[in-house]
A and B are shown apart, each in its own frame.
Chain A
Amino acid sequence: MPHRTLPSIRRIGANAIDVVLRLGFAARFIGLTLAHSGTSFARPRLIIRELYYTGVLSLIIILVSGLFVGMVLGLQGYQTLTTYGSESALGVLVALSLVRELGPVVSALLFASRAGSAMTAEIGLMKATEQLSAMEMMAVDPIARVVAPRFWAGVISMPLLAAMFSAMGIFGGYVIGVVLIGVDEGSFWSQMQGAVDVREDIVNGVIKSFVFGVAVTWIALFEGYDAPPTAEGVSGATTRTVVTSSLAILGLDFILTSFMFRGM
């Protein structure tokens, strides 16, 4: 950090100014990205390529994690519900936990560490090896050509990944609850069908994962673009992407939940 040598009180001030400056840069960055998104939509192949790298390549970790989270929910849920003799509500518990909370939040955390860190490292290294400067010298705007397609790929893939995480989790809960423990299959599915509301639960979950997708991709791209062009700079930026996005996901989740599920 550049302010190590300053006396402590001045250092607090200098760091605070840095944070405000970076927030300003980040706001301008997202503004420019949105303004230059036309190229990406005019050439969908650019987005499709990035969808493969951010979305398709994240599938394995999302599906496997979803399965295990669902299986754990099945085990823990059965343990608790059986105390009250209501193990037939296991389907409801698994589905609601996943669709409302765990699906969007855990898949966003995984997405930040799998795809977000990769985006930061890639763009940081492109900057360090002068690829972005070369692009600019060729009269091609790196925000339009490199940043915007990645941004939209992240925003599109996040809700889809969260949906697949939840689906896989429900399947995991079914395997544990119905197939292995022997909860009644009919009540597992019918209670789930009765209790999960499309607008209240599924749409809210999709909105959450969309917001997380915007936040994670924005942080990852900005950190990469703003990284000092050195090995140390890129590694620091990658770490910051994972830390900042994880905190942003959890903070945003609290805010969104408090607005979405107030009267329930």
Chain B
Amino acid sequence: MASEPLIEIKDVNFAYAKRPILTGINMSIPRGKVVALMGISGSGKTTLLRLMGGVMKPTTGEVWINGECTSRLDTQGIYRMRRRMGMLFQFGALFTDLSVYDNVAFQMREHTGLPESMIRDLVMMKLHAVGLRGAHKLMPAELSGGMARRVALARAIALDPMIMMYDEPFTGLDPISLGVIANLVRELNDTLGTTSLVVTHDVQEALDVVDYVYYLSDGKMMAHGTPEEMRANKDPLVYQFVHGEAEGPVAYQYPSKDFSDDLRLGGLRAA
């Protein structure tokens, strides 16, 4: 069992209103690893993450998580599976009407019959792990972006998930918070024994902390390998992305008419 991958994606296609979003995706994520799913905005990363969380089902193909095929599970089965998953949303998605403490305690109160004294100890431990034990009385509106992201992380690991999913965890953070979050991703993965999937387009930060990278472009899996392999990859598409260059196969300009037409220079040019 231990050698079997925790998450396996087999020939997945996904179309939204007949528009293909993902085509022919194959992925295999081994237990205990931190894997990055990279690609430019609109490449289908978040959709793939949603397929893994069972929010959507693939049009064709299969998503296997811990030996279960998600498309064969009913709602109860999906919910049972999600209890073993933690997800960090792009901007934290903290419940704004609950305090930091109640946010972290949310899942424990919903899913376990634990007494309040034990919940308190667990909440404090989770908050301590992200360095915010002292902030437990604050409301989400009183937190900075980086702190909110850390509280959301504490909430996501509340029930010691088997899989942690991060949706753009580095977006909009200052360099210090960014480094803190990147280290937490690695540390929590190793200390809690989880398997992590990081969806991101922050290349350098991600390459420093992950074990393996999948590169998605236009709904297709273009490349995968270890961070060293990705840095050394000479494929123009991967090279442009990893090195952040404006010129390359990925066009900077949105498809448009001829520039002179848009400036209405047609008549002048004819004259």
Chain A contacts to B: CB under 8 angstroms? 125-126, 129-131, 133-141, 145
Contacts and interface: CB of A to CB of B under 8 A. Distances in A.
A139 B106 contact: no
Contact of B91 (A126, A130, A137, A138): A130
A138 B93 contact: no
B96 A129 contact: yes
B89 interface: yes
B87 interface: yes
What 5 pairs between A and B have smallest CB-CB spacing?
A: A134-B93, A130-B93, A139-B82, A139-B79, A137-B87
Given A129-B96, A139-B111, A134 B82 contact: no
Consensus secondary structure, chain A interface:
helix
A131 B94 CA distance: 6
Contacts of B80: 139
B96 A138 contact: no
Interface string B84-95: 010101110111
Contact of A130 (B83, B85, B89): B89
A135 B107 CA distance: 9
Given A131-B93, A139-B79, A145-B110, 20 more contacts: A129-B91, A129-B96, A130-B89, A130-B90, A130-B93, A131-B95, A133-B55, A133-B89, A133-B93, A134-B93, A134-B95, A134-B152, A136-B55, A136-B82, A138-B107, A138-B110, A139-B82, A139-B83, A139-B110, A140-B111
A141 B110 CA distance: 10
Contacts, number: 47
B89 A134 contact: yes
B82 A138 contact: yes
Interface residues of B, number: 20
A140 B107 contact: yes
B53 interface: yes
Contacts of B90: 130
Nearest to A129: B93
A126 to B, nearest CB: 8
B97 to A, nearest CB: 8
A135 to B, nearest CB: 8
A136 B94 CA distance: 13
Contacts of B152: 134
Contacts of B107: 138, 140
A165 to B, nearest CB: 28
A132 to B, nearest CB: 9
Contacts of A125: 96
Contacts of B85: 137
